A and B are shown apart, each in its own frame.
Chain A
């Protein structure tokens, strides 16, 4: 266990928040995407894997410790060190954004049932979505949306899912770059009407009277 702490460059007495911060800082530092050279990139990959493993091990050990002591799991993810038992969803979301889905899912699943707020369902959906499990993702987005209909983030996610499920592309309201096949080949939009009138005006002065002066 000690070598894991050494790897993250922190002492064993560090608080959960310090472990998290150290982990995120190290992960950013070794982000393989920022290395151009192939062998360096590989090295960065290995390093990132080690760091993630160290973090997982430390957090798991701490969770098990707490469970043994009879504290509930939720306390381990206190928000910015406050002791009010709020689950730190921001941190989980950050993990998801940095593509560490397994850790994020593990933490989410460790949250007690009574603490599963709408955001829990949204994040769970987000994990499934990133994994490519679109069916489950839709269900969780819908659940989050049902529990908290006022929240625009949940609603956007759910509406986008509905939109794309219904055979459209992109965001709700967006047009398919290719047309979805339902549009008639010859349209009669505003531009067509203007164009037609201009043509008629130029050719034969609209049957006598020019409707555009000066044309």
Chain B
């Protein structure tokens, strides 16, 4: 996972921001406790979102305390104490990062490939520990890798089909947060839409890179039918079409996510999760679009882009 699911900080209340940061710190420390110091590098905002979600569903009692941190050795920061949601999320995070290394070895070049190889070796033992503890999650993620590879072989792959494996995977993982069948259904939908969002925005973020390297990208597949894999030149017209489609897909997914979320009986920290869904996801969207903005002049004319006025 890649750090796209985070709150829009300016709209958070001060105490909400404190709690969010405390969960972030707590997760980092938990990774250190459950595995080792190296695994703390794999911390990501997406997993913090999962912790928030697990806390809201389970309503378990949690405590905060002030602790020091390697990055800020002088200041004591508020930090979430060990709890079930954190442990759970640390396991999920580790399993995901392990498979991400696999993915990087296939997709990346030189330095990143090297890093991925080193990561794979050094994470192997930790992964074994995690997969023993959470065999169900390891299974889900492994299935994801297989079906993703299968999907990417298909040259006529639609965007929906390309998103499906990771969306399903996140749906199944989020589903494990509750034992109630009705809640599980809602949670599956929420997880599915979050997965969809992450996949699409990641594909969009990597658009330029994938054009050069020839890696799989659901938005480029249409233009590659003539066998031109690397150094694909995309003109403004193509880019505009890609961005319009991506924006529609992103917006629709977020709206569906919000609709499912409203059905949920959510306890603690509802306001933070609401901020992430209604504002955070959109602000990340805007950042990714802004990155490409200099290259397309009339991006403003794309229908449905209305964040921030």
Q: Which A positions have Cβ atoms within 8 angstroms of B?
A: 32-33, 38, 41, 99, 128, 132-136, 138, 161, 163-170, 176-178, 180-182, 184
Chain A proximity mask over B278-309: 1 for CB below 8 Å, otherwise 0: 11001000000000000000000001111111
- The chain A residue with its CB closest to the CB of B168 is A132
- The chain A residue with its CB closest to the CB of B159 is A135
Interface flag for B147 (CB, 8 Å)? no
Return 26 A-B CB contacts under 8 Å, by A number.
A32-B181, A38-B179, A99-B185, A132-B164, A132-B196, A133-B164, A134-B252, A134-B253, A135-B245, A135-B249, A138-B248, A164-B252, A165-B252, A165-B304, A166-B251, A166-B304, A167-B282, A167-B304, A167-B305, A168-B255, A176-B278, A178-B274, A180-B282, A180-B306, A181-B307, A184-B309
Smallest CB separation, B80 vs chain A (Å): 25
Q: Measured between alpha carbons, how far is A176 from B261 in the docked complex, in Å?
A: 14
A-B contacts besides A41-B181, A165-B248, 18 pairs, CB < 8 Å: A33-B182, A132-B167, A134-B256, A135-B158, A135-B245, A164-B252, A165-B252, A165-B304, A166-B248, A167-B251, A167-B305, A168-B251, A169-B255, A178-B11, A180-B306, A181-B282, A181-B307, A181-B309
Interface flag for B189 (CB, 8 Å)? yes
**Contact between chains at A178 and B279 (CB < 8 Å):** yes
- The chain A residue with its CB closest to the CB of B303 is A166
Smallest CB separation, A124 vs chain B (Å): 13
A38 neighbours in B (Cβ, 8 Å): 179
Smallest CB separation, B304 vs chain A (Å): 4
Q: Measured between alpha carbons, how far is A153 from B252 in the docked complex, in Å?
A: 19
Interface flag for B193 (CB, 8 Å)? yes
- The chain B residue with its CB closest to the CB of A166 is B304
**Contact between chains at B193 and A181 (CB < 8 Å):** no
Smallest CB separation, B290 vs chain A (Å): 14
Smallest CB separation, B188 vs chain A (Å): 9
Chain A proximity mask over B132-159: 1 for CB below 8 Å, otherwise 0: 0000000000000000000000000011
With beta carbons under 8 angstroms apart, the residue of B164, B248, B258 that contacts A169 is B258
Which are the 5 A-B pairs with shortest beta-carbon distances?
A164-B255, A133-B160, A178-B278, A166-B304, A165-B248
